[in-house]
Amino acid sequence: MVGRRILYALALAGAALFFLFYEAWISLFTLVLVLALPVVSLALSLPLARKLRPELLPPEGPVVREGEAALTFRLEPPGGLAVGRLTGRLVLLNALTGGKWTRTIRLRCDGSPLEVPFPLPTGHCGMLTFRLERLRVLDLLGIFALPVPLSAPDGEVPVLPKYRPAGPIPPVLGHAGRSLGLKPKPGGGPAEDYDLRDYRPGDPMRTVHWKLSSKRDELVVREMLEPRRAALVLTVDHFGPPEELDEALDRLQALSLALLSREEGHLIAWVHPVSGAATLCPVEDRAGLHKALSRFLREEAPGTGRSALDVPLSVPGSDGPPKAFHVTAHLWGEEGEAS
């Protein structure tokens, strides 16, 4: 753009000198033509610049740490018109580690739809937010940089932990079959165990034990029971070097998937490294695991902070104290033992 401005300035100076030293209609015509060119260029280029709608498309599949993934810059010129040089920058921010990257955009479009990939920095886990800034398109002469409206909001892409095979389930987490006794089943419904008690106003008539009620000459109902189970909680610290966080999240994901494979619902929990406020995310399936990890990746992790081991956890609605296991970067050592 600077070079073209210099060329135009030289052309304008030449036209002015031609007009000063050669008194004829052609010199006036040349000067007016050179003066009018930028106005005509702006008149033709400004409507096109306002109609441009660039997009940033995230990868279609999940993005895994140290995997290959890219954002796609997509531009569809209105009416198939050619677009001069397009400049700007793509800003990427890792919400977990605080890392920031800037990609320079310098593109040309001949009128056909344009799709250009921009690789994502996947060296560490985290929620990558992305946005376009200072997007400009040059006019036909290449003298003026016209702003392109950016209507799309910031987007985000989670960089998930790497998959690794799970080691042995820590003994403290037990097994799904272990219970702490029985309790009334909320809402009733079918169950293997039940208890007998006197009828209370509001009890459904389908729960009445008619045979026993006829013998006692008073209504007796079956109260369905279900096992009492302590909540299973996987805790992890939300601070530390990015390398240790990566390793801890790899193991957290592996352990969570191992529990899900045994149909054991659980919770993933961590505490705020400064305030100590606890965050508990229920995990009943892979979607719940992805939601819990995404929430963890959205919060910035400092180098040091309060550990989940230092804050007593309570799970609303849990039967008894939760069975918690703290996941670290050193879980499942080289010999496959849970550390």
Domain boundaries, the chain: 2-51, 55-160, 171-178+229-327, 182-227
Overall pTM surpassing 0.85 (yes/no): no
Contacts of 189 (CB under 8 A, 6+ apart): 224
Phi and psi, residue 17, nearest 5° = -65, -40
As a 3-state breakdown, the chain gives helix, strand, coil percent values, each rounded to 5, of 30, 30, 40
55-160 classified as CATH 2.60.40.10: yes
Residues 6+ apart with CB under 8 A from 87: 104, 105, 106, 107, 134, 135, 136, 137, 138, 145
Residues paired with residue 156 on neighbouring β-strands, in sequence order: 129
pLDDT in tens, the chain (339 residues): 677 778 878 887 888 887 788 877 888 888 888 788 878 777 777 777 777 888 889 999 899 999 999 999 988 877 666 677 888 999 999 999 999 999 999 888 777 888 899 999 999 999 999 999 988 888 777 777 788 887 666 899 999 999 998 888 888 776 544 555 555 666 666 666 677 888 888 788 877 888 888 888 889 887 776 666 678 899 999 999 999 999 999 999 999 999 999 888 899 999 999 999 999 999 999 999 999 999 999 999 999 999 999 888 877 766 667 888 999 998 886 434 444
